[in-house]
Amino acid sequence: MKSILVAILYLPLCAFQMASAQTSGKTFGNDVEFAVPPNLRLLSKDSVNGKPAFDFFVLVKAKLNGLYDISGGLQEYETFNVGQIDVWGSDNSNRFWMDMHQTQLRLRGQRETEMGTFIGYLEGDFWGGNKHFRLRHAWVDFKFIHFGQDWSFFGDKDIWPNVLDWDGPPSGVWRRAPELKFYFDLMPKSRLEFGVGTPGPEIVASGDIDNTVSSASQRIPDVIAAWKQTTDFGHLRATAIYRSLRYTAGLDQRAVPAYGATVSGLVKTSPTLPNTLQFQLVGGTGIATYLASFGGYNFDAAPNGKGEIEAIPTFGGWAAYEHYITKQWHVNLIGGFSYFRSPEIASYTIPGAVPPYVATDSKVSLDMLYGLVNIMFDPVPNLIFGIEYNYGYKKADHEGSLTSTGGGTVEEITQSRPAHRISFGMFFDF
């Protein structure tokens, strides 16, 4: 029983060791890479294969999350989520806020056996409902098998812009969900991964559009494949995904296909300092749930008002450059974009429009931009202070036959709104 518990508790080191080969001792968003494990560590006196029989440590990552909203109507949100911008809103009141809800607890355990090494990781934070403790990660890794809840391997968990905002670029592919993955090293520094993930499609269920259409129980998991090439200057990664979005239309159950791909990478730009350029591009249909800021908003698919569901095309990308002025002072510059295009919808009411409009045989487009610049100071290892400026822009466009309840018809309505925020805070790992 003790061995099983330790194996389950040793979950982060495998991922951390891969990343620390690129940038040891740094903090990337929600992940930390260690040059050496923390002091709170337990090693077995017994050994297997010349290594301690088990190796266990606990880590607390304390984060002070501070913000000052300048404009944009995001005063109710602790993250700078561009998707939450209400383009029809007008509340630009300022808000100062601080909290510690993003503080994380991490347990890592490694168990040596005659068959090989079991690695396990458990992580949670206090950002659940009503700020309760929630599970973020819980996975096990053995030989070529990886299973549990982790960052989906449709994305690239070895990259993350060094930001204070919790969400990061809205087009970042960082969904957490249970998955089963198999990985194989085909040649030196080249790895192939394939497996399945929990489907969880997010489909618009609107009686305003079609009350005969709703989500259904899924029968096919998300199928994912990935290839990664590591080089002396960084790495390059490409992934692909296939999904089946099952839904109910009247008394029938149907499914529409969804698919997507990503290309991402990290490039070291200095031989002496950990300067890096990171990037990611993503595109497809019915994959919005995998994008950082759009999970939970039912952007995977929408009814067309004809008793059918259609997957929504989704595209986006981001790039981040980190430059170390000295070994303690570093700056980050990040930009990103994303957009969505709905199918033609037979009839719906434009949400939030004043005056109200009824759209007939119309399409909805959402365009979003993201920008960030920050400066960070590391006075001692594992302690970081920072301040940053966040910019977001959201545009909603409705095109078709748009009739006002007050009379009159137009062919297009476009509404947009920018948002501005100052984020600040600190990270400390102990």
How much is the pLDDT for 131? 82
Distance CA 427, CA 386 (A): 9
- Please write the tens of the pLDDT for every residue from 274-319: 999 999 999 999 999 999 878 778 889 989 888 889 999 999 999 9
Domain count, the chain: 1
**Domain span holding position 187:** 64-98+143-429
Is residue 147 assigned to a domain?
Answer: yes
| Mean pLDDT (whole number) for 379-396 | 96
Percent of the chain with pLDDT over 70: 91
How much is the pLDDT for 38? 56
Is residue 338 assigned to a domain?
Answer: yes
Question: Is the pLDDT confidence value at 18 over 60?
Answer: no
Is residue 379 assigned to a domain?
Answer: yes
How much is the pLDDT for 165? 92
| Mean pLDDT (whole number) for 233-241 | 97
Is residue 374 assigned to a domain?
Answer: yes
CB 67 within 8 A of CB 421: yes
Nearest to 170 by CA among 366, 309, 416: 366
Q: What's 148's domain CATH number?
A: 2.40.160
- Model confidence at 240, pLDDT cuts 50, 70, 90, reads very high
Nearest to 137 by CA among 97, 112, 174, 171: 174
- Please write the tens of the pLDDT for every residue from 73-96: 999 999 999 999 999 999 999 999
Question: Is the pLDDT confidence value at 35 over 70?
Answer: no
Distance CA 3, CA 69 (A): 49
Residue 33's Cβ-side half-sphere holds a number of Cα atoms within 13 Å equal to 20
Torsional class of 59: left (φ above 0), alpha (ψ -120 to 50), beta (otherwise): beta
Query: If you average pLDDT over every residue of the chain, what do you get?
Result: 88
Is residue 289 assigned to a domain?
Answer: yes
Is residue 302 assigned to a domain?
Answer: yes
- Please write the tens of the pLDDT for every residue from 143-198: 999 999 999 999 999 999 999 998 888 899 989 999 999 999 998 899 999 999 99
Is residue 29 assigned to a domain?
Answer: no
Question: Is the pLDDT confidence value at 209 over 70?
Answer: yes
- Please write the tens of the pLDDT for every residue from 339-378: 989 989 999 999 888 889 999 999 999 999 999 999 999 9
How much is the pLDDT for 90? 92
pTM of this prediction? 0.88
Q: Which residues contact 326 (CB under 8 A, 6 or more apart)?
A: none
**SS3 (DSSP) at 289:** helix
Is residue 336 assigned to a domain?
Answer: yes
| Mean pLDDT (whole number) for 107-126 | 93
- Better-scored residue on pLDDT, 298 or 387: 387
How much is the pLDDT for 86? 94
